[in-house]
Structure formats: structure tokens, C-alpha cells
Structure 1
Amino acid sequence: MSRKTAKNQVQNAVDNAPVEYIALQHLQKSPLNVSILPYTPESVRDLADNIAAVGLLHNLVVHDMADGISGVAAGGRRLAALALLAGEGRWPEEMLIPVKRVSEKLAVAVSMSENSKRRTMHPAEQVAGFRMMAEEGKSAAQIGDLLGYQTRHVQRMLKLAGLAPELLDALARDDITTEHCQVLALEDSQERQMQVWEQACQEYINVTPGVLRRYITENEVSILNNARFQWLGEAAYVDGGGEVRRDLFSEEDAGYVNPTLLDQLVLQKLDAHAQALCEEEGWAWAAGRLSVLTRWSADAGDYVFLSPDAGEFTDEEEARYDDLRHRKDDDAAAEMAAMEDVAERRAWTAEQKAVAGLIVCLVDGDIHVMYGIVRRADMNINADETTTAMAGSDEKGTDNAEVKTGIDALAASFVLAMSGERTLAVQAALSDQPQVALALLTWTLCQGCFTARYGVNPLDVRLTSSQHTLVSSALSGKSGRGFQHLEQQREAWHAQFPEGWDTSFSWLLGWPQERVIALLGFCVSQGINGVQERQYGRTGSSPLDGLETVMGFDLREWWQPTAAGFFCKLNKRQISDSLSDAGLSDAARDVLAMKRSEAAERAGTEMAETRWVPSWMKPRVDVSSDGDSVTEKAA
């Protein structure tokens, strides 16, 4: 039956009932009449005078009661006015009153309908009416259909019907507001409802609904926008012994739960997820955790954070990743993130997994897995295994094992690429400083003439240009600022060469010395080779260190750490450490909870406003005070 049909049923019952005429002494206000508030003497007097003047314009609606009495379900004020007139001798006993008779099961519905038409019903009257209909066995939906109310509204009124009688009486007297009652209805116990109300009245002159809510829910947390509750699910919370305190009066279906139990159940679910991953991937241990474990966590000292080499894609994966990068849609981003995750997890070694574990936590309602966590308590027990596993870790300050840090914690292929990037930048800068290039060339030749020992020297005097290799390995490729600068100079110089220049050098004798020195500087710059390769697990110092110091070289003038050109090759912990090193502590914390691609993008954006360069891409040399010698620092 539709709501409209059900509502018409009530109206039709009244409309189709024949008019009867009953003496006043056979009429009595029905207990099913929802108008429970006392009528004011003034309103009864005004209505009585009106009836005396023009007659009773509207019939009453009644139903059968015991002893031949007809109960007035609609028209209680009119009945009171008629009784007043009769008491004053202004309504003769023989004058009958027109009524319409309905069944007892429709009496409350008729009373609700008639009262709501003639005036705005007091909330206390609605509560009483809905309660009586519910006691007749009608559901909230059926009541709503009969009277034309939304089911939600009926449910709310029925919730208020469960308030302590003292509170409902106070509502009828307007000593308490509907808003107060709605909050008190959060508490099912009528005894507790009264305790809360009385305590609030004792402590506050003006008791607000907010005060009552605080008393009732002070040991609970809201489920509204609660990521933990949403991830766990209401069914799991209830199955775990929890009970949701629902707020029916919230438009957002709010509620409150026990935070201790919620955390306990969430932790159990996280731990189960962690154990499943541990068995699947072969880690030493696993645990669930309610918050992300970072280097700034209170218990961070209990753990060592290992890092694998940056995850490498296969050729097929690299091609697929590049295709996805150009699509720029949500599906592509999701697939890229999944590929990054697979590559990163693949990079962990069996030695690392043998001593390290994983932690599963929630970040903004999503599962976040942290791999490569070593418990310090386990390090002494498994000292040899831990030392082996930490050979690729970025953990700092550990006394239990020799730990690779800085450049040696990075993938060798990445170091090779970045040293190529650095070399191109140095070549470009040196091409603008011919006096330095001339000094470098002269010094190199002197080493060959006056001593048999060659120190660290970036200049290959045979001038074997490694530019093609450098460009191929550098992440910026031919778009890098250093390469672009060198190409512009190459074209400018080549345009000045005479035809057949490569058959004789005599044409150089006609050039001014300054011009020849400038050309020499450019050529010397092409021979610079600062590529760093790793041998026996260690990366040597850069041969560019001394040269950069003499030149006053600043890599940041030529190169910027971007997402695509630098951070995409780091894992999230290395990205975080880089941001921390640059003084960006907030961003350093944030990226740990991001996907790797998002962390790289965030780091690139943040670093654009800084002059940060990785410490292992800066020179590590001392220059003597007179500037005549360059001494390499002891490693």
C-alpha cells in the first residue's frame, strides 16, 4: 500500500462515516486523543463564546468506549468549550452534538491527522501519538504512510518516546526543548537520562544540547568520518562485541562507539592482514599498527629501517609505465602505482627478509604496508644475519652492524646516471672558464712530465669524449640544461671554423690568443669524465670534487631534483630523508604515507623552492689558502 493510499484510508474513514447526534453527557475525551497538553482557559472561553454565537460548525470524531461512552478522538477543545457552556446553562441538555464514528484502531491516526491540520502539533503530542500507534503494532513505515510522514521522522519521534516520563512531561511544559530531548535520546537508559539532565542542570545555568552530548559521549568517539570505523565496518564492530550508539537525529547517520574496543578490533584486523602478507612473502615477522612508524615516532628507537635498492622495472614494464605516464587518467595512475609497488617489493633480498619484518597500518582509511623493519631486540640474537641484511640499508647510527649510508645506499645504476648528470653540468660550466681549463690541461701535462704518479684527475688528455655515454645515462638526456648549453657552444664554435680545418692547425695561429684559449677551454671541458662506478660494494669519491671547488661550481645552477629526473628512482624512505635534509620536515613525514609516485611528485614540487643538492653530489675537497694546490679529503 502506498503512502498516499494509506493516508487516504484515514481521510476516507472520516469522510464516509455518517453523522450521528449524541448528547453531551455521553461524550468524553478519549485516551487515544493525542492532544495531551492542557487547553488554556482563554482558548476554551473564546471557542465557547464563538459556539454560543454561531453554533458548532465542525463535528467531533469519536470511537466506541466502555459503558456506552463515545470517546472524542478529534475535537477535544470543542468538547471542553461545550462543557463550559453547559456548566453556565448556555447549552441545553437536549441539544445533541454532531459526531462521526470511526473504529478504535483508526482513532489515534484520525486524532493525529485532525490535530495536525488545525494547528502545529507540539512535539510532545506527536511523540504521544506515534507511541500509541506503535503500541497498536504499527511499524514506523506504516505510521508514516497513514499520516503522511517520512519513516525517518516517525522513527525519531518513537526514539523520543523512550525518554523518561519526567523528561516528556518537561517537554510538554516547554521546560526542555526538542533539541535537548534528541541528545538525551542517545542514552537508552531512562535512569541515565535523568542523571545526565540533573547533573547538567546542577553544573550549568544554561544547559545546551552540546553539554548533554558531552556528558553522554565523553568516553566514546564519533563514527562520522572515522576512517578506522569505516575500514573495519559496522558488522565487524558489532560481531566483536561492540554497540553503536546511533544518533537518529543526525542528517548524516552519525553515531558513537567505544574507542578502546574499536582500536582493538582494528588492530586485530591489521595484524591478520600483516600475518597473511608475512607468510606470502617470507618475512621474518609481521605486526599490525594503528599509526605509521616513522623516524619521529616515540618508539622509533626500537626499530631499524632498512631500504632496498630502488625498484627496477623490466624492459617490458618500463615501456608499459611510459605509456601509462602519458595517459594521465585514474586507471593509469592506479596501474602505475601497482607496478611501482611490485617493483619495490621485488627489490627486497632474501637476506633482508630473513631478519626484517613488515608493519601494516591505516593511512586515511587505506592499508599502508611498511617493509624492511628490523626490531633492535632481534639484532643481537641474529647478529650475523642482520649485518648481512643491512648491507643495503639506509639505517643510521647502528652499533650492531656496518651500515651503508648516503651514496652506497643507492642503486649503482642510479649513481652512475646522476654522476653523468653532474659531469655534463661541470663540462658546461668549465666551457665558460677557459683560464681554469688551461690550468687543468697544463697541470695534467706536468704530471706526465715531472712525476710518474697520477692523482685523481678528471681530464683524459687524449680527450676521449664520453658525452654520448653521459647523455644516455643521465635521466635528463638531451633536455638537460648542461647538454643544451654545450650544444649551443659547439654549434657556435664550429660555425667559425674554416673549410678543411681538420687538416691543419695553422688557422689557429691567426686567431687572437684570447679566442684560442676560449676554444681550448671548450675542448678541455669535453674531456671531463666524472662518472662514478661501484666496485666491491663501495662507490669511490667523485673525480669532480677538486675541480668543482676551484671553479666555485654550484650544481643547482645547472640541475634541479625533479620527480622524473631524480626522486622517481628513490624509495619513499629515501625521498623522506632527502626532504628532511632540506629542512622540509612536514613534507618528509607526509610522503611516508603516500604512494611512491605521489611522494616523488610532492618532493619535486617542494624542492623546487630550495637550493638543495644531495650531499653525495657535492664536492668533498679542501683548497689550500694560496689556491695553488688541491688536496682530497680523507674518506
Structure 2
Amino acid sequence: MARTQPKITLSPSRDIPFDRLILSAANVRRVRPDEGIANLADDIARRGLLHNLNVRPILDAEGQETGDYEVPAGGRRYRALQLLVKSWRLAKDAPIPCRVRAADDAILAEDDSLAENAQRVNLHPLDQFRGMQALVDKEQAIEDIAAHFFVTPAVVRQRLKLASVSPTLLDIYGEDRMSLELLMAFTVAGDEERQLQVWEMIADAHDPSPSWVRRKLTENSVRVSDKRVRFVGLDAYVEAGGSVVRDLFETDHGGWLTDVGLLDRLVAAKLEAEALRIGGEGWKWVDAAEEHVFNPGRGMRLLAGDEVAMTEEEEKRVAALEAEGEALSDEWSDADDVPDEVHARLEAIDAEISWLGDRPVIYDPVEVAIAGAFVSIDPEGRLRVERGFVKPEDEPEAEPADGEEAGDDAAGADDGAGKRANTAATAPGQAATEPEEEESGLKPLPDRLVSDLTAWRTLALQDAFAQSPDTAYVAVLHAFVLSCFYGYSRESCLQTSVQSVGFSNAPAGLRDCAPGQAIAARIDEWRARLPKSDKDVWDWLLELGDEDRASLFAHCASLSVNAQAEIVRGYDGRVSAHGIARRLAHSHILARAVGLDVVEAGWRPTADGYLNSVPKPRILADVTEARGENFAGMIDHLKKGDMAREAERLLEDAGWLPEPLRTPMLELSALADGGAEAASVPANDDGDAELPAFLAEEGGDEAGDPDAIAAE
């Protein structure tokens, strides 16, 4: 007959007075045994002792029990109880729940101590997230949960945010198929369906990127730092019913606005209200827009107004503010850590000085009645008001001066150009017929994109030109000689009336790019110095120093530089494809003379400004040219939008430029041959180049995996 397996008998439990317990030397925890004891003591005081102490009776010399017990397992709990006794929160003879082993038990005391500390599994983070959510569901306050678990409320909110992610993704994380960092990235959007869509895009990726997930989940949102949000105010957006999502795990600069349509309506309403307010000043018209094209007042006369001088009180206030600012700067100039209130005060001083220095201008009411104003939003989200522009059709009629006759000097030029238009060569990017495919299989860049890119390059060239007075003199002289001695030969890119360049099909954001802002600042500086009346300009120029006169000459000449490859079919009565080709050829010479560096000027191949406008083969060709085939292979499997965004990151620091932005090396005979260009700058095609940080894998062996997502 089979023998019955004996049943296990567990050690009995009973309460033992604390003063009869002694910490055993057999306890194996020796390294930092007191770490966290104070928090554990507070927790025991709140909820009691959750786990009994493991004890054994202490025997005397004859082997009899003394009534005292040693504690080989549960040393941290013993120390916490000891701290409660010392702080008078627990009686020294308070009964303590204990599990009692026999003194001669076959299991050694050290064995118990080691097992209790080694044979336990920490709570999985997912269980912690869900556990905290369960407490909140039972109406536990976040602050109370934080206090009970000795963490900050921010940590609790982070855990709760993680628990709010799609249950499907939480299960994937619980199965260790997703990292905690990746799970954190999914918290930036509350749309569980969108979360799952993004996960499907990267589920099979070798090392999916948290930052890529964040970008995908916020691509249809607007950052709080956007100028439109600054203009209407975040509070106004929220009060109107808009929502904001935050990233609790990364710096998000205030988060993202999810209702873009509501934001646009608020912007339009506020702009309309501001336009009505400005119109109340008596202007004939007010043109309000979120963003105006570059140089919106081109071809209009700008009124000269009288700036209101500061009052004596305002001058004293400015002096006091400047003195206070200098004193604070001197006091904290050598400090390693400047208090936030000092930073705030210095910013407030600068803002008030700027406000006092921005003087109102008084215009002649008669002229105000025929003039208008442009209202828009500047890059910082402030209202930008440009007053005093008179359209040509609103100018009062004037009697011609004695002996003055009307004429049209341009007619002959138009006729001559028109005759040549029939045999005109095609300008770069301006093909009159369908372009043949290149040997590589790539089609030429779209006309509109070439026009946009060269408009950007024109601003950069104008800015560099303005900083090179000597070149400006020579270039203008060159244009004068052509017009005086060579009839209708107009290969110069200078329009020397001087007439400011107006860009056809100007791309969005052109006015606020780095060269555009530099030019605008220079215009404002000279306007502040010039006489109010044009009758006084000649005498003022004669008194101007040579250096200032040269800088002003270069600035004025720079505004006529036009290097844009305009979209023209044949001849439109204004400019021909042949004329644009000659213009661009001369712009390359000018660019070399002033040392134009378009990358240094601030242009980058962004998704919005370039990559979204070209097909996928062009993106891959550009990445290959700039960084090598191994980089292109990392993004060739992506969809167009994702490919454009990842290519933007790859090209960001490559110093690469598309063909229309490059300045080729030209032979001096190139202009005589119709502007033929030499080969473009050589491409960076080094396939062994070091991978960028956001693509490099640990060890470097898998960096070229074509299935990897090229994102950080």
C-alpha cells in the first residue's frame, strides 16, 4: 500500500512584547540596513505591520528558553518598530505579530534571512500604475496617495497618465514587448485608436523611437509656443472649449493644442477686432492677415509722421529703469545661480523700457484719409501694425511741372525683349515643354518649388549684398554701364531704379526668415535716421559720413537684387525665360563676390519648406547625396510624410542644399554664352560617414538595418 505524503506544518504565530525581541546577528542584510527606515516607520504607524517578524527563542546555557527571541529575518521592520518606540509612538512592550521557529530547527537562521530578502519579486510597474488608478477610482486624493507612498504628486500623476494609455498597449508593455520609455511617449495623446495606429507602424521595428511616436501623435496639433497661441492667449483658447495635451515625461514647452480649427477662428476674430480698432484711427483701409507677403507695401508711398517725444516724467522713468537694470546686472554678473525673481525683474525692466521707447507717431489727418495700414502677427505672437501706406491710385492728382512731359521709356525695351522671346532659352526650373526624365530617373524639381527656393535665396543674397558695400558699388556700376552703353542687354540681376523686389508666388514665412528679419531691422534703423521730408535728403546725405553713406548705398542697392526663378511660360510682357536665365547667371557671380552662404544664412531642408514638395525618389536621392546610401536605406520603406520628417532630421546638420540654392563656380565667359553653369558643388557621398546620434545603435552593428525607423 502506498505511503501517504506527510502534510506540511507551518510555524505558529503569536504576539510577543517588543522589549523581548533582539535583532539577530544572523541577519544577512548588512549594507545600508537603515535606508528608508523612517518612511517604513511612518507606513507601519499608518497601516500596521503587514508582515510578521520571523523569530526564534533564545536559549540559556542549559538549553532552556529565556523568554527572549532573536529576529534573523525582518531586520528593517524591527528597526522601524524600534524607531517608533524611541519617538514615543509605540509602547516598548507592545505586542508584535511574530512567526516563531524552533530554536533547533533544521533550517538555519541565516537561511531564513537570505530567503526573505532574495526570494521575492518586485511589483511590476504596470501593476503599480493600475494600483494607483484603483485608489483614485475609490476617491483617494492624489496628494494622499503621494504621501502614503512617499513620492511627489507629480510622480503619481505620471503613473496615472501611464495607466490611461490604451489597454492593448498596456498589455503589450506587460508582456515586455514595449519599453517603459516607449509607453511614456504614447501618453501625449488620449485618442486610443490613434495610439494603436501608431503602434502598428512601429510594431515590427528593430528599436522603435519614443520621439518618433510623440511626433506622430502630435502632428495634427499646434504647440503652445506657436505664434498664433501667443497672440490669442492660451487661457482664451481653453475658455472657448479648447483642450491641451501635455507630456508629463518630457519637456514639451507647454504642450499641444488639439483643436486647430478653434484656434484659427479665435485668431481671425481677434485680428478682425484689431483691424476695426486700427481703422478707427481714420485710415482709409486696413489689411489684416495672420501673415503678409514679404514687403506688403511695395509700390506704395510711406507717410512721414512726427514721433511723439517723451515727457519729462517718461525720461526720468527710463533713466531710473536703466540704472536699476545696470545695478542688478553688476550685482549678479559673477553669480553661478541667479534667482528666478532677478531674471523676472530684468525682463520686466527691458519690457517697460521697450514700451516707453516705442513712441506713437502722429500723421497729417488729410494724408491718413488716403492711406492705410497692414495688421498681422509677428514671430513672437505680438500684434504687428504698419501704418501710413498710400496706394498709387489713392495719390492726389498733381499738376505736371513746367516743361515736364510724360513718356514711356520702357516701351522700346519691351518690344526688343518681345522679339527675342520667340527664341528664348528655357530658364532653370522653367521648362516650356514637358521635361525629359534625367538619367537617374528623377524629374526636375517642380517650378513652384524652384520659385520658392530662389525667393529664399534672393533674401539671403540681398542680406549678404548689403553687408558688402564695395561689391554693391561695383555691381550697381556694372548695371549702369550695361543700360547706358549696351542697349537692351539686361543680364544684371540688379533692378537699379531702385525698385524693391516683389516676389511672385511668395512662399509662406518668407517675411519672418532670418535674412528677412535682418533686412526689416535695417530698414527700421535707416527710417529712424532719415529726414522726414524728401526735400531734406540731399543735404542730409552730403553731411553723412563716408562709412554710413556706403552702408546706406549698399542697403538701398540690395533691395533691388532679384535672384528668383519666377514661373514664366514664354514671354508675359514683363519678363522672359531667357531674361530669368541671364538674371540667375549674374546672381551666381554676385553671390560669389559677397561670399553668400545660404546654410549660414539659416536655410534648412525642412519637411514643410522643401521635402513635402518633392516626390519620394527625390527625397531618397537628396539623402543619398548628402549622407550616403546607408542613410537613405533607413527611410526608404516609410510613407511620404514620415519619410519627409525623418529626412529633415538626417539633413539638418549636413550642410546640404538643393540645386536652386547652390552657387556654382562660373567661368568668366559663362555670361557671354547665355549663362551656362559649371558643375554644382560636389555632393557628400561618403557612405562611411559616422551615423548621427539619433540613428546610431549601441555597438554600431545594426545602424544600417533598413527596417529601423530613422528617428530618435
TM range (shorter): 0.3 to 0.5
Q: What TM-score, normalized by structure 1, do the two folds share?
A: 0.41
Q: With a CA cutoff of 8 Å and minimum separation of 6, indicate the structure with the bigger relative contact order.
A: 2
Rg larger for = 1
Larger relative helix fraction = 1
